[in-house]
Amino acid sequence: MNGTKVFPTLETERFILRKIEVEDAPEIFDYFSKDEVTKYYDLDTFTEIKQAEQLIHLFSERFENEKGIRWGIARKEDNKMIGSCGYHNWKKQHFKAEVGYEVAPLYWRQGVISEVLKAVLAYGFDEMGLNRIEAFYDPENIASQASLGKAGFIYEGLMRKSSFEKGKFCNAAVCSILKEEFNG
């Protein structure tokens, strides 16, 4: 972003948000090979580490082409990646992007996304020039809904059967936060 192509590193109290490297593939494979992680994700459960490597290349390509950015969420104490968070569907002409995230099940219900979102939202508004950040989630994913609500996102509505995933039509809840609403 900003034409430099230097991947920005962010920091929170417990985590370093950093570039995802091929060396992180085992951690990504570990959590994306669990059905409970991919249940609400538009990805099939991983069966080979090669799938994790492909995902890392996709994130890197998206950053290089200024179409988005995805940070690895790494624990400060050992730099071990436990999830990721970032932007895709970046529409520069409309000053908006979509945020997405996932965390390994071992770290669920520990406030990881609530903590990380503060830094990611601040970066989006301050460095990417966003005015609106959107999030789409499965209405049954109560944990995601709660994390977004804590971060200040406002529920906007339900998009009925708006996508076809894993052999069925799925609803998507949409919410957003505007720059003037963010108090990061």
Around Cβ 100, how many Cβ atoms within 10 Å? Answer: 20
Is 34 in a helix, a strand, or coil? coil
Whether pLDDT at 1 is above 50: no
The confidence score (pLDDT) of residue 39 equals: 82
- Kind and range of the H or E run holding 178: strand 168-178
Confirm if 62 and 84 have CB atoms less than 8 A apart: no
pTM for this predicted structure: 0.91
Confidence of residue 167 (pLDDT cuts 50, 70, 90): confident
**Statement: residue 41 has pLDDT above 80:** no
| pLDDT value at 5 more than 90 | no
> How does strand 132-137 pair with strand 168-178?
antiparallel
Q: Is residue 145 part of a domain?
A: no
Does any domain span residue 33?
yes
DSSP alpha helices (H): ranges in the chain?
25-32, 35-38, 49-64, 112-126, 142-150
Mean pLDDT for all residues in the chain: 93
Residue 184 is predicted with a pLDDT of 64
What b/e readout covers 25-38, taking b as 16+ CB neighbours within 10 angstroms? Answer: bebbbbbbbeeebb
Q: What is the CATH number of the domain that holds 80?
A: 3.40.630.30
Residue 148 is assigned to a structural domain of this protein: no
| Region 37-51 average pLDDT | 87
Residues 80/106, Cβ–Cβ less than 8 Å = no
pLDDT at 169 over 60: yes
- Mean pLDDT for 47-57 is 95
Per cent of the chain over pLDDT 90 is 83
Q: Coil, strand, or helix at residue 30?
A: helix
Q: How many domains does the chain have?
A: 1
pLDDT by residue (tens digit) across 63-103? 999 999 999 999 999 999 999 999 999 999 999 999 999 99
Q: Is 75 exposed, middle or buried (0-12, 13-18, 19+ CB in 10 A)?
A: middle
User: Do the domain assignments include residue 151?
Assistant: no
Q: Can you tell me the distance from the alpha carbon of 181 to that of 93, in angstroms, rounded to the nearest whole number?
A: 21
Q: Is residue 67, in this structure, part of any structural domain at all?
A: yes
Q: Is residue 122 part of a domain?
A: yes
At residue 31, the 3 state secondary structure works out as helix
Across the range 151-161, mean pLDDT stands at 95
Q: What is the pLDDT of residue 79?
A: 95
d(CA 89, CA 17) in angstroms, rounded, equals: 20
DSSP strands (E only) in 8-153: 10-11, 15-18, 69-75, 81-91, 96-103, 132-137
Provide the domain limits for residue 126: 10-132
Domain-embedded: residue 62: yes
pLDDT tens-digit profile of 105-146? 999 999 999 999 999 999 999 999 999 999 999 998 998 999
Residue 108 lies in a domain: yes
Q: Which of 19-23, 39-43, 82-86 has the lowest mean pLDDT?
A: 39-43
Whether residue 60 has pLDDT greater than 70: yes
Distance CA(106)–CA(73), nearest Å, equals: 14
Query: How many angstroms separate the CA atoms of 15 and 79, rounded?
Result: 8
